[in-house]
């Protein structure tokens, strides 16, 4: 099964015929019931990251419950559409980017399932190369870039934004971590698909980033963005062959993965 985790403004993926599944996990309930349908011959599970009515801010999303629930349903590969700000003048609103690196600038988020057992997880390349290649092969998709994940819910100051840009980061986001590392701990392939909704405060002089502008830009692009995710799923191989996202081979875990 393939999973899709929808970001801000991305609250549904199927029609009314999709099956809704309510789940509970050792880490609480996920952001919303999971809806299950089919796309291109694949069984697909969709979960809105922020809830069905955007109940969860970036720092309160139940990330561990979300990822555990998807794994329990049988998901082993995940596309994660998200809204991002641009830190590069050449990446304007409407651009779609598939990052290949992330920088964590969050604080205090529950970001592991291994609070005991001495388990360490390889994370040098945080995104699945097989899933990335599916999307980067599409027209008008930008291949690569570092996404810095800030804590939120506030947007960056100009000084912070300029600092990130000088460091060479391409995108700024609030939810890409710990989602990616939790997927890796659960041995699920994971790739982010980023829709640029704004140019960050330190790149262009102006009023700064406002949530109303972000949501308006996302709403303007949501239907073609959904179609791109549908096309990506249709091009995923029937069988999972990736070994990059299996970090526990030869490792004794303190519990069995769901």
Q: What is the pLDDT of residues 158-169, one digit of tens each?
A: 899 999 999 999
**Cβ 169 vs Cβ 176: under 8 Å:** no
Which tops the pLDDT comparison, 248 or 207? 248
Q: How many percent of the chain have pLDDT more than 70?
A: 97
Q: Which of 65-69, 111-115, 171-175, 224-228 has the lowest average pLDDT?
A: 224-228
pLDDT score of 205 more than 70: no
Report residue 5: phi and psi, to 5°.
-110, 115
Ligand-binding annotation for 125, yes or no, is no
Counted residue by residue, the chain has a size of 258
Which tops the pLDDT comparison, 206 or 14? 14
For 163, the token pair is: 């600092």
The pLDDT tens digits for 103-159 are: 999 999 999 999 988 899 999 999 999 999 999 999 999 999 999 999 999 999 989
Helix segments in 26-79, DSSP class H: 63-73
**Cβ 161 vs Cβ 87: under 8 Å:** yes
pLDDT for position 208: 65
Average pLDDT taken over every residue of the chain: 92
pLDDT for position 199: 86
pLDDT for position 202: 67
pLDDT for position 210: 72
Ligand-binding annotation for 60, yes or no, is no
Ligand-binding annotation for 50, yes or no, is yes
Highest mean pLDDT (candidates 88-92, 142-146, 193-197, 209-213): 142-146
Measure CA 17 to chain center: 25
SS3 for 28? strand
User: d(Cα 129, Cα 240) in Å, to the nearest integer?
Assistant: 12
Band the pLDDT of 204: cuts 50, 70, 90: low
Burial class (CB in 10 A: 0-12, 13-18, 19+), 189: buried
Q: Which residues contact 2 (CB under 8 A, 6 or more apart)?
A: 39, 42, 43, 44, 45, 75, 77, 78, 79, 233, 236
Ligand-binding annotation for 199, yes or no, is yes
pLDDT for position 48: 94
User: d(Cα 14, Cα 36) in Å, to the nearest integer?
Assistant: 8
Angle at 96 between CA 84 and CA 10, to 5 degrees: 60
Active site residues: 198, 200
The pLDDT tens digits for 111-121 are: 999 998 889 99
Q: Which residues contact 203 (CB under 8 A, 6 or more apart)?
A: 86, 87, 88, 89, 161, 165
**Cβ 4 vs Cβ 225: under 8 Å:** no
The pLDDT tens digits for 22-34 are: 999 999 999 999 9
pLDDT score of 198 more than 90: no
Task: Give the β-pairing of 34-39 and 19-21.
Answer: antiparallel
Q: How far from each other are the two terminal CA atoms of the chain, in whole angstroms? A: 14
CA-wise closest residue to 236 among 76, 104, 89 = 76
Once rounded to an integer, what is the mean pLDDT over residues 79-94? Answer: 93
User: d(Cα 140, Cα 225) in Å, to the nearest integer?
Assistant: 12
Q: Which residues contact 159 (CB under 8 A, 6 or more apart)?
A: 202
Ligand-binding annotation for 200, yes or no, is yes
């Amino acid at each position: 099964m393939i999973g899709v985790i929808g970001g801000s403004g991305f609250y549904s993926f199927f029609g009314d015929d999709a099956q809704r599944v309510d789940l509970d996990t050792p880490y609480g309930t996920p952001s919303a019931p999971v809806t299950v349908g089919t796309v291109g011959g694949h069984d697909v599970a969709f979960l809105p990251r922020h809830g069905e009515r955007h109940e969860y801010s970036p720092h309160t999303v139940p990330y561990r419950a979300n990822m555990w629930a998807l794994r329990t349903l049988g998901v082993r590969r995940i596309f994660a559409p998200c809204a991002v700000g641009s830190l590069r003048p050449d990446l304007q609103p409407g651009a779609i980017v598939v990052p290949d690196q992330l920088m964590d600038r969050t604080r205090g988020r529950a970001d592991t399932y291994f609070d005991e057992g001495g388990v360490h997880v390889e994370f040098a390349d945080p995104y699945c190369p097989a899933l990335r290649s599916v999307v980067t092969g599409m027209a008008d998709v930008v291949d690569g870039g570092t996404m810095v994940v800030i804590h939120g819910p506030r947007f960056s100051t100009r000084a912070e934004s300029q600092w990130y840009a000088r460091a060479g980061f391409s995108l700024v986001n609030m939810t890409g971590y710990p989602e990616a590392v939790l997927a890796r701990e659960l041995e699920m392939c994971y790739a982010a698909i980023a829709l640029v909704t704004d140019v960050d405060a330190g790149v262009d002089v102006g009023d700064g980033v406002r949530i109303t502008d972000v949501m308006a830009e996302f709403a303007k692009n949501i239907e073609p963005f959904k179609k791109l995710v549908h096309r990506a799923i249709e091009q995923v191989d029937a069988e999972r062959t990736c070994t990059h996202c299996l970090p526990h081979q030869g490792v004794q875990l303190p519990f069995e993965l769901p």
